[in-house]
Amino acid sequence: MPNFDTGDTGFMLICASLVMLMTPGLAFFYGGLVGRKNVLAIMIQSFVSLGVTTVIWFTVGYSMCFSGSLADGTDFGGIIGNFNMMFLNGVSLTDPFPGNPHIPLFVFFVYQMMFAIITPALITGAFTNRVRFPAYLIFLVVWLLFVYFPFCHMIWGGGLLAEWGVLDFAGGIVVHNTAGMAALASVLFVGRRRIADAVPHSIPLVALGTGLLWFGWYGFNAGSELGVDPITCAAFVNTDIAASFAAIAWLVVCWLLAKKPKFVGLLTGAVAGLATITPCAGFISPVQSMLVGIIAGVVCYFAVEMKNKLKWDDALDVWGVHGVGGLIGTIMLGVFASTAINPNGADGLLYGGVSFFGKQVVAVLFSSVWAFVFTWVMLTIISKITPVRSSLKDEELGLDLSEHGEEAYEVAI
């Protein structure tokens, strides 16, 4: 029998549960930001990923991400894994996870599944009120297969970028940058909303969602050490510091420019900080995390302002918060990373790691282009199968009724 550590195993199961909680948290966060006639339509897009992504992950997804590697020539060109572990073929309850033999492989399987669930759900905030549910379901499946799974394998599954030396502690590239760039492609493809919406309809719901996301993010980042050690604690501390400083930075900038301390701004800034620290969490110091948080709050604020001036209808600022946050977090990892903090990491630009910095920049630019182009192509193909955009009549009625025949509230028509 393998020598499983009950502490590590229990901790990782709790972390998997925390990351799962982030998807309902995202549903509340997005649900509060939209109008009253579109609450259920945006929330179901998050909740349905819990079911659909689990099915795909169990059947082919886990195998595509974590079966085979470029080093031993058992994957497909370092881009995607093989299909040897479909339906968990050959995996038993007593098999250890190779990255930490003190936890079962089953635990790693379910922990990584929660990452796959929330990533496509992040994109939905960009095209709220406009996309039909059947088209979204196709989008969800195809995007996982052709964007999320390849980058998961390339960085975390022993693929091309991992062999090259690219680092991403908990998903700056794999989760946030790819989702944010896919959101931008979706917005430009679908177009602007035709019906003005009174938003946000419930700031308390946004606050509840932010609280759940922030809470779950400790499992997202600290759990990515895949065990309990000093790096786990560092990732936990760095996550909270960056989120807090980003929230205050966004609040201050908004207060100075808009003349009011906006609660939604504070909440959005916290999420921007959480997204930005994600790739760095286990590789940098708390002081550097403070800097990451401040930079995230300011840069993401102005990214959203730029989006507004360009009239990109990214309804819930997915590109400005997650796309830009993931990008700058990945680049700042290339600046601040230190093997004195994490011997399994690398030295960034501040410590002479010019090559590592260049690799981080190239990798995040590569992921940005890949996610944008593939998303655009996917939507083009999906539009040939079923209409992607809802009709004017359906937008006027609201997608809760037109798509789902349900109402979050009684709405006068």
**Does residue 37 lie in a domain region?**
yes
Residue-number span of the structural domain to which 203 is assigned: 6-404
**Does residue 1 lie in a domain region?**
no
Residue type, 197: D
pLDDT tens readout for residues 389-408: 999 999 999 999 999 999 99
3-state secondary structure the chain: CCCCCHHHHHHHHHHHHHHHHHHHHHHHHHHHHCCHHHHHHHHHHHHHHHHHHHHHHHHHHHHHHHCCCCCCCCCECCCECCCCCHHHCCCCCCCEECCEEEEEHHHHHHHHHHHHHHHHHHHCCCCCCCECHHHHHHHHHHHHHHHHHHHHHHHHCCCHHHHHCCCCCCCHHHHHHHHHHHHHHHHHHHCCCCCCCCCCCCHHHHHHHHHHHHHHHHHHHHHHHCCCCHHHHHHHHHHHHHHHHHHHHHHHHHHHHHCCCCHHHHHHHHHHHHHHHCCCCCCCCHHHHHHHHHHHHHHHHHHHHHHHHCCCCCCCCHHHHHHHHHHHHHHHHHHHCCCCCCCCCCCCHHHCCHHHHHHHHHHHHHHHHHHHHHHHHHHHHHHHHCCCECCHHHHHHCHHHHHHCCCCCCCCC
- The residues near 2 (Cβ < 8 Å, ≥ 6 apart) are 94, 95, 96, 101, 104
**Does residue 361 lie in a domain region?**
yes
Query: What band does 362 get if pLDDT is binned at 50, 70 and 90?
Result: very high
**Does residue 413 lie in a domain region?**
no
**Does residue 48 lie in a domain region?**
yes
**Does residue 165 lie in a domain region?**
yes
| Residue % of the chain over a pLDDT of 90 | 97
CATH of the domain at 158: 1.10.3430.10
Per-residue pLDDT, 394 = 95
Tally of domains within the chain: 1
pLDDT tens readout for residues 150-182: 999 999 999 999 999 999 999 999 999 999 999
348-353: average pLDDT: 97
Per-residue pLDDT, 110 = 98
214-240: average pLDDT: 98
Average pLDDT of the chain to the nearest whole number: 96
Contact present, 135 and 50 (Cβ < 8 Å): no
Q: How far apart are CA 71 and CA 287, in angstroms?
A: 36
Per-residue pLDDT, 195 = 86
pLDDT tens readout for residues 3-22: 899 999 999 999 999 999 99
Residue 1 reports pLDDT greater than 70: no
66-87: average pLDDT: 97
pLDDT tens readout for residues 100-120: 999 999 999 999 999 999 999
Give φ, ψ of 101 to 5 degrees.
-65, 0
The tokens describing 249, both together, are: 């930075």
Q: How far apart are CA 238 and CA 242, in angstroms?
A: 6
pLDDT tens readout for residues 300-344: 999 999 999 999 999 999 999 999 999 999 999 999 999 999 999
Residue 412 reports pLDDT greater than 60: no
Residue 413 reports pLDDT greater than 90: no
- The residues near 362 (Cβ < 8 Å, ≥ 6 apart) are none
| Residue % of the chain over a pLDDT of 70 | 99
**Does residue 264 lie in a domain region?**
yes
The terminus-to-terminus CA distance of the chain in angstroms comes to 64
**Does residue 377 lie in a domain region?**
yes
